[in-house]
Homo-oligomer: A and B are copies of this chain.
Amino acid sequence: MVTDWKSLATGKRDAILKSIPEKWRLGKIPSVEEQKDVTGPYIQQFLDKKEIEITETDAVAIAEKVAAGSWSAVDVAQAFCHRAALAHQLVNCLHETFFDAAIADAKALDAYYAEHKKTKGPLHGVPVSLKDQFHVKDVETTMGYVGWIGTFEGKKGDSRHKTFESEMVRELRELGAVLYCKTSVPHTLMSGETVNNIIEYTWNPKNRYLCSGGSSGGEGALIGLKGSPVGFGTDIGGSIRIPAAFCGLYGIRPSAGRLPYEGMANSMDGQNSVLSVVGPLATTARSVRFLVKSILSQNPWLYDPGVVEMPWREDRYQAVWDRVNDSTGELTFGLMKTDGIVNPQPPVARAVSMVAKAVEKAGHKLIDWEPPSHAGGLATTFNTWSFDGGKDIHSAFALSGEPISQQIKMTYGTEPGPEKSATEIAKNNVAQRQWKKEWTDAWNGTASKTSTGQPIDCIIAPLAPYAAARPEKYKWYAYSAFVNGLDYTSVVVPVTYADKSKDTYEDGFKPMNENDQAAYEDYDAEIYDGAHVAVQLIGRRFQEEKMLAIAEYVGQILGKENI
């Protein structure tokens, strides 16, 4: 039965706004022309000094402050609830707020601390935001679908509605984290922009002409506005890294099976050729590490059959620092300036150059990296997104009859197409495995090109052709998605800001093809001016510790690590 999707959507949109206490409501929000950047001084005007201090502290330091008894969990929770409420009003980044539950949990943590003179766990009092795929008790999960309102993943009358919790939620509570909001996503999750019929569009807080990224776009926008110190997103084609990059954050795409995905809502659940993975985004590299390490301390492999028994390996993390602190221990980087299909726009090309120069200046080695069999490998990755011909997502739209956003139509059209057969899927899996083997061999092969005799440590690459995409213009997913196909570890590192005085195409630039032409035409130095620009550092499979160390180090030598 097709419902009145519009009133359902409006009702939900209003309910989100109404869940914000009256005292935190803003009046008219300025237009983008009036106020392009709503971060920093703009949002600070609505907060008191203490709230600003708390919310501009990273997750690691918050945990330290609360553990030391300097700040109460309640003070911290209240400050972040307030700032998250402001953020939502400025850029539409929340699907759910549960501030009262958060304050109650924070009170319980403070009581625990008072009684036991110790914290409940390493995340004691740290607010953690969650993408709207996590199930949290007493809270709805819509994943941006109007048809999911009032249901459990679209199923009406399912007893798990507002009662079931995802495995990681249980672990975060055990660790002492304070949960307080769930963040916006594009309906289907399959877009680098965050758009749906409930919250409509999540804007980039640094530059409201641009999107905040997707699919964890609510996380990007919220953390970018410091309405959260750290949050969890998911990534099947770039969905953690895109919002991290677009919003000036660190974010990790771990290999599948490292962190627990058990009990999360998803699109095309059961497609297991390229798995969506879960991972944190945060304002600092060390906070990303803090969260990964904390979750692993809960032995998630004992509770989630999809997690590999691989505890946090501190020695791997430390080994990188030992090398960079020892003048003989240089790192070796592969440099991938372009994928040869769509060139990065000028701000991104400059960021990649900046990182390359910084690591060379710091004494490390750089070799050129050309990705093996790129077009074919990419195809095996993109194919997995439509194994079912869009059947799953179209059936979710059909629940309410809501319209499909242009961004999703680009990939999935307006109705389901033919499904792939078992044989076609198997063929794709074999081709993908062969491509992975080519990468494995090529990566090992770099040993002959480095001075250390060891293969490269990681690859410096664009994360997207764009610093951040303009609405309906996110079209080329290859830079982020090939990493998912390979199941490699990738960490986004913020590098710089788009600068109209520097970031222009050179005279006579000739696009290589139609896709490259589109990226070229979409660029507008004036509009992009001031936007965050990032790169990704790509490591081999299950190299989370190593890559977090390298990302933290690169952040430091770039002078961006301002803890």
Contacts and interface: CB of A to CB of B under 8 A. Distances in A.
A432 to B, nearest CB: 9
Given A270-B428, A304-B440, A427-B270, A309 B541 contact: yes
A302 B270 contact: no
Nearest to A430: B270
Contact of A269 (B419, B426, B440, B541): B426
A302 B439 CA distance: 11
A429 interface: yes
Of A273, A422, A423, A428, most buried by chain B (CB within 10 Å of CB) is: A422
Contacts of A542: 301, 308-309
A305 B433 contact: yes
A107 to B, nearest CB: 30
B308 A272 contact: no
A303 B426 contact: no
Nearest to A395: B423
B433 A306 contact: yes
Contacts of A257: 308
Copies in the complex: 2
B422 A271 contact: yes
A260 to B, nearest CB: 11
A426 B273 contact: no
Interface string A266-278: 0011111100000
Contact of A425 (B270, B310, B440): B270
A302 B444 contact: yes
A-side interface size class: 35 or more
A419 B387 CA distance: 14
B302 A426 contact: no
A262 interface: yes
A541 B305 CA distance: 8
A436 interface: yes
Nearest to A444: B302
A199 to B, nearest CB: 28
Contacts of A423: 388, 391-392, 419
Nearest to A486: B305
Of A305, A423, A425, most buried by chain B (CB within 10 Å of CB) is: A305
Of A270, A419, A437, most buried by chain B (CB within 10 Å of CB) is: A270
A456 to B, nearest CB: 13
A178 to B, nearest CB: 26
Contacts of A437: 262, 304-305
A257 B486 CA distance: 15
Interface string A22-65: 00000000000000000000000000000000000000000000
Nearest to A257: B308
Interface string A425-454: 111111001001101100010000000000
Contacts of A150: none
Interface in A410-424: 419-423
15 contacts: A268-B426, A269-B430, A270-B427, A271-B426, A302-B444, A305-B439, A305-B487, A306-B436, A310-B310, A391-B422, A391-B423, A392-B423, A419-B423, A420-B421, A425-B425
